[in-house]
Structure 1
Amino acid sequence: MTRAQRLLPGLLLTTIVTITNAQQSSPEFIQPTRPVPTGLAPHMQVKLVSQQKGERTFAVIFGKGDEVLSGLTDFAKQYHVGDAHFTGIGAVSSALTAWFDLDRKLYHPLPVNEQVEVLSIIGDIATFQSRPIVHTHVVLGKRDGTTAGGHLFEAWVNPTLEVFVTAEDTPLNKRDDPSGLRLIDPTK
């Protein structure tokens, strides 16, 4: 059972399509629209680094035990971010990444259950039904020099993660796509 599942009984399990083994903590598939729990980054700190006409840049610093997607979602809500892109580096003690199966319209999980370096975290924030949606990809470096990565569903920081977010004043909106994903709609 993952840390989030222990903290939020039932929330994450409602989005699991199939469990391959009752003993296994990782689902066989993950819905693209799996909800992101909030309030799981109590050590996160935010600093406005620069502000120019139409653009703000923030340093979002996570502490040990913070969950990244939860924190970025909380950040976007608190600072009214409806259009942004971000990059970052740091380390996590575990992560749930995935790759998208276009034919099934579902994600295949790729859990990483060890201390790893976050070699790159990159993503965007846009709005769907008046809520910020964080879309993140990550590359993780293992102790033997190999990497793992993909779409990020969950990552637990240890000891820190430093993310720089550039927010634009003009919001971007997402729409449901026939692929099963929520994609940015450049016409709105």
Structure 2
Amino acid sequence: MDYREVEATREFVCRLEHGRDWRAQIEEFAADEGIDAAFFRGLGAVQDAEVYFYDQDTQEYEGVTFNEPLEVAAAVGNISLLEGEPFAHTHAVLSRRDGEALAGHLNAATTFAGELHVQAFDETLEREHDETTDLDLWGL
């Protein structure tokens, strides 16, 4: 395991805007606040969602789009730099009206309502290509 110690220097509570993309808002917020590394948690609801699953055999993302209202039962993620820009790596558990759960890498979603807690670090984390997984992971 690679690791390094980081210190949380700022914390924010955020309310996402109705009708805007969930992940894009987090990335815009990070750019506005100069956040190069953070962890966040959130909840709320979305009007639709594009969820990715990473196939470890083919090393490619497979996307599924849900064009329906969904509860964001839990969202967790981190912010780091990817090609010099803030990237919000977001995973979410989404639920349907009947309680069925959907989960995965939240690529995009139209926000109905959303609340976040963001813990920013006094560090920069930059994603680097990892040959083994073919993913862009933290360069520690």
Q: Normalization by structure 2: what TM-score?
A: 0.89
1:143-158 superposed matches below 5 A: 143-158=97-112
Task: Please state if 1:173 is matched with 2:126.
Answer: yes
Partner of 2:17: 63
CA offsets 1:36-70 (integer angstroms, 9 cap, x no match) = xxxxxxxxxxxxxxxxx851111121122010111
CA offsets 1:112-170 (integer angstroms, 9 cap, x no match) = 21111100010001123322121010000110111111001101011x10011100111
**In 2: Cα distance, 1:113 partner to 1:54 partner:** 37
> Is there any run of 5+ residues in structure 2 with no aligned partner, and where?
1-6
> Residue type matched to 1:171 in 2?
T
Instruction: Check whether the contact 2:8–2:119 (CA below 8 A) recurs between aligned residues.
Output: no
Partner of 1:111: 65
**In 2: Cα distance, 1:64 partner to 1:126 partner:** 24
* 3-state SS of 2:123 partner: coil
**In 2: Cα distance, 1:151 partner to 1:109 partner:** 9
Please report how far the alpha carbon of residue 103 of structure 1 lies from its aligned counterpart in structure 2 after TM superposition: 2.0
1:1-188 superposed matches below 5 A: 54-158=8-112, 160-178=113-131, 179-186=133-140
Percentage of matched positions with identical amino acids: 32
Give the superposed CA RMSD. Answer: 1.3
**In 1: Cα distance, 2:119 partner to 2:59 partner:** 30
**In 1: Cα distance, 2:17 partner to 2:25 partner:** 10
> Residue type matched to 1:96 in 2?
E
Q: Max radius of gyration: which structure?
A: 1
User: Would you tell me which structure has more strand in proportion to its own residues?
Assistant: 2
Query: Whose RCO is larger (CA < 8 A, sep 6+)?
Result: 2
Change (3 A) 1:101 1:76: same
